[in-house]
Amino acid sequence: MARRLYLITGAPGSGKSTLLRLLPEVTDQFQIVPKVTTRRRRKDDGPEIRSIEHTNSAVIPGTHSLAEFVASHQLVYKYDYATSTLSVQGPLPHEELKAIKKAVIDEIDGEKRPDILRAIEALARRANSFPSKYDLIYEQYNVRYGLASSDLISLLCRGISPVAIVNDIRILRDIKAVFGQQACCIYIYAPLQAHELAALQTARGAVNASGGIDFEQTMRRTEKAKVILRRYIENIEVFDHVIINGRQTPTELAHQARGIMNAAADSFHELVVTEDLAE
C-alpha cells in the first residue's frame, strides 16, 4: 500500500475514534498523529487527542469566591495563600476563565481590576499555548486544536501513512496545498437524530475541572455536529471519500475503510517526500 496522509473529518458521534481503533484491521503501515487541544480530556478520548499538560501560575488576589472556585476544581487548580499564587495544571478552558474572572473581579477594588484582568488573561495565554512545532492550529467553540506538519512529514519519510482527525476546512485546504494528492480527506457521516446525538454526548461525559459532567460542552458538541455537516456540504470538493456509518458493525466499518484506503493507494502515484517540506 502506497504511503498517504489520511485526514479524517466527521461530526461528534460519527465514528471517528471507532475508525481509528479499527485501523490495525485495515493496514499495518499507519500511525495516528495526535492533536493537542486546550480542552480537558474526556473519558472516551483515545490516542488521537491529548490535552496540554504543562503547569502555569500567576499572582492573583485570594478572594473568597476564588477560594470556593479552587476548592470545587481542585483536580487541576491550586492556590498558595502565602504567595497569592494561582496555579493550573493543563489548559484553562474558556468557561473556567470566565469563572475565575468573576470570582476575582466581583470582590476587588475597581482601580485594581485592569491589572488583575491582565494577569488572568496572561495566565490563560500561557496555559493554552502550544509547543512551537504545532503550526496547523484551528479553533472551534473557544477550543483550540493543533497538529505539527513536521510530524506528518517525518512519518511519510519513514514510509508510514500518518492518520489524523481534522475538523477544520481551512486546515484541510492548507494541508492539501502542501501535500497535494498525497493527502486523502475522508468524511464520516452518521445519520443520527438530534436526540440520539444528545444522548450519546451525555453518555460520553465531557468532564470539567471539578470532575463532574460538563453539560455546556455536551450542548456545544451537539450543535457542532450540525455545523460540521453543513461545512461538509458547502466544501464537498475538499473530500476524496465518504464513509457512511449508519449503525454498522465494526466489521462493516472496517470493510469500508479498507476499500477506500486500498483504492486511494492504488490510484496514487507515490511522490518522494523529503524533510525539505518542513522548511
Burial (Cβ within 10 Å: 0-12, 13-18, ≥19) of residue 132? exposed
**Please, are residues 105 and 116 in contact by the beta-carbon 8 Å criterion?**
yes
Amino acid at 88: V
Confidence band, pLDDT 50/70/90 cuts, at residue 71: very high
| Low-confidence winner among 13-17, 111-115, 234-238 (lowest mean pLDDT) | 13-17
Choose the weakest-confidence range: 141-150, 196-205, 247-256: 196-205
- pLDDT more than 90, % of the chain: 50
| Contacts of range 118-123, beta carbons closer than 8 Å, 24 or more positions apart | 119/58, 119/59, 119/60, 120/58, 120/60, 122/58, 123/56, 123/57, 123/58, 123/60, 123/86, 123/88, 123/92
Task: Name the nearest CA neighbour of 188 among 14, 4, 12, 5.
Answer: 14
Beta bridge partners of 147: 136
Average pLDDT over residues 171-193: 89
Q: Which residue has the higher pLDDT, 140 or 205?
A: 140
| pLDDT mean over 247-268 | 77
Helix (H, G, I), strand (E, B) or coil at 85: strand
The answer to whether residue 116 scores a pLDDT higher than 70 is yes
Contact assessment for residue 91 and residue 105, using Cβ atoms and an 8 Å cutoff: no
pLDDT score at 266: 64
- The predicted-structure confidence for 34-49, as pLDDT tens digits, reads as follows 999 998 887 778 889 9
* pLDDT of 70 higher than 60: yes
* pLDDT at residue 191, rounded to an integer: 75
pLDDT band at 274 (very low <50, low <70, confident <90, very high): very low
254, 22 contact by CB (below 8 A): yes
- Tell me the average pLDDT across 14-40: 87
Q: Are 104 and 53 in contact (CB under 8 A)?
A: no
Per-residue pLDDT tens digits for 165-177: 999 999 999 999 9
- Who has greater pLDDT, 275 or 56? 56
Grade residue 222 by pLDDT with cuts at 50, 70 and 90.
low
C-alpha distances in Å from residue 208, one per residue of 22, 42, 79: 29, 9, 18
- What integer is the mean pLDDT of 147-169? 93
Task: Check whether 136 has a pLDDT greater than 70.
Answer: yes
By CB neighbour count within 10 A (0-12 exposed, 13-18 middle, 19+ buried), where does 279 fall? exposed
Helix (H) or strand (E) holding 186: strand 183-189
What pTM, to 2 d.p., does this model score?
A: 0.81
The residue among 25 and 234 whose pLDDT is bigger is 234
Could you tell me the residue ranges of all domains in the chain? 5-51+134-278, 55-127
Q: How far is CA 65 from CA 70, 91, 99, 169, 211, in A?
A: 9, 21, 9, 41, 19
Report the C-alpha gap between 78 and 4 in whole angstroms: 45
Write out the three cell numbers for 65: 469566591
* Mean pLDDT of the region 81-108: 93
Q: Cell digits for 141?
A: 467553540
Give me the chain's average pLDDT, please: 84
Q: Which CATH class for the 5-51+134-278 domain?
A: alpha beta
